């Protein structure tokens, strides 16, 4: 089971669990993944009641990234854990984008106070150096020598990942993420032209009304500030966990300046 607007990757079965037809080729099509509405507890429970032991696993992002910064509610994640336990399914936490401290906790799923059976990680692990990994719960017994990759266990990548953890700890970056993330969300909420500011830590999204459709492009062209997006109208913010207050202030002022420029043009 996966959920509406889910994004789990562009390769093989990861595509089959991704709710975006643009990434799905015939070779990856399968009837083995059912998509349910995100954060819909009634639909989730009904699907388990109907299909019971047929459900092998549930995969979910704690905060959907490509889907538009949609935060999974704590009660929704708790229900997934309870239903997986009841019916013998595996709870897979996709923490590639929302993990590694980005939300203010190490995994965004941690806000719900539950443990998944499998966590997938990447992106922030190497601070730009390519590395990915998974954590598997002790009750899932590994079969040794079954997992083999050409570049697996790369020593440089592992050294980079260890260094990232050390810096995160020594510089208290998760605490900084909470503080700066709150500042950004609070300030964005004061800008009346923006809609539905949301997120956790330094994983933030807001909706841009059609009157400000080129805001992302203008921030890049005029302010030299690059942001992410989610179609059709969401700006996504995923800055460094070491983002300083002065840089967050600069971003807010830049947004206000670009919005003000629309008024000038309209006049």
CB-based contact 221:257 (threshold 8 Å): no
Tokens of 130: 């390519």
85-101 pLDDT, tens digit per residue, is 999 999 999 999 999 99
Q: What is the pLDDT of residue 265?
A: 57
What global pTM score does this model have?
0.92
Which tokens go with 29?
């099509």
Q: Are residues 182 and 159 in the same domain?
A: no
Burial class (CB in 10 A: 0-12, 13-18, 19+), 40: middle
pLDDT tens figures, 54-86: 999 999 999 999 999 999 999 999 999 999 999
71 lies in which domain range?
A: 2-170
Strand partners, 57: 90
Predicted pLDDT at 142:
81
- For residues 37 and 141, membership in a common domain is answered with yes
pLDDT band at 161 (very low <50, low <70, confident <90, very high): very high
Question: Is residue 165 domain-shared with residue 185, that is, in the same domain?
Answer: no
Count up the domains in the chain and report the number: 2
pLDDT for res 35: 96
CATH classification of the domain holding 192: 3.90.1150.10
Look at the block and give the residue holding tokens 């070491």.
242
Strand partners, 180: none
Tell me: do 206 and 140 sit in the same domain: no
> Model confidence over 103-117: pLDDT tens digits?
999 999 999 999 999
Q: In this structure, what DSSP letter does residue 105 have?
A: S
Looking at 145, 170, 195, which one is the last position of a domain?
A: 170
Alpha-carbon span 164 to 158, nearest angstrom:
10
Q: Mean pLDDT, to the nearest integer, of 186-213? A: 97
Nearby residues of 88 by Cβ (< 8 Å), 6 or more positions away: 53
């Amino acid at each position: 089971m996966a959920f509406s607007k889910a994004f789990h990757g562009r390769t093989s079965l990861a595509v089959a669990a991704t709710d975006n037809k643009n990434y799905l080729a015939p070779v990856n099509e399968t009837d083995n993944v059912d998509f349910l509405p995100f954060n819909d507890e009634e639909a989730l429970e009904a699907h388990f009641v109907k299909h019971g032991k047929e459900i092998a696993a549930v995969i979910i992002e704690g905060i959907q990234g490509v889907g538009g910064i949609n935060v999974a509610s704590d009660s929704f994640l708790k229900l997934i854990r309870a239903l997986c336990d009841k019916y013998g399914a595996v709870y897979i936490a996709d923490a590639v984008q929302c993990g590694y401290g980005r939300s203010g906790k190490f995994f965004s799923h941690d806000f719900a106070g539950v443990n998944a059976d499998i966590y997938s990680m990447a992106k922030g692990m190497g601070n730009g150096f390519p590395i990915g990994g998974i954590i598997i719960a002790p009750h899932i017994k590994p079969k040794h020598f079954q997992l083999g990759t050409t570049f697996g266990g790369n020593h440089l990548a592992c050294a980079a990942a260890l260094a990232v953890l050390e810096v995160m700890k020594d510089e208290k970056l998760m605490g900084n993420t909470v503080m700066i993330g709150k500042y950004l969300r609070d300030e964005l909420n004061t800008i009346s032209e923006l809609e539905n500011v949301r997120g956790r830590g330094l994983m933030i999204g807001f909706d841009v009304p059609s009157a400000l459709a080129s805001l992302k492009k203008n921030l890049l062209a005029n302010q030299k500030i690059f942001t992410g997006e989610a179609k059709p109208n969401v700006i996504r913010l995923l800055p460094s966990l070491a983002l300083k207050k002065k840089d967050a202030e600069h971003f807010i002022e830049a947004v206000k300046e670009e919005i003000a420029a629309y008024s000038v043009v309209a006049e």
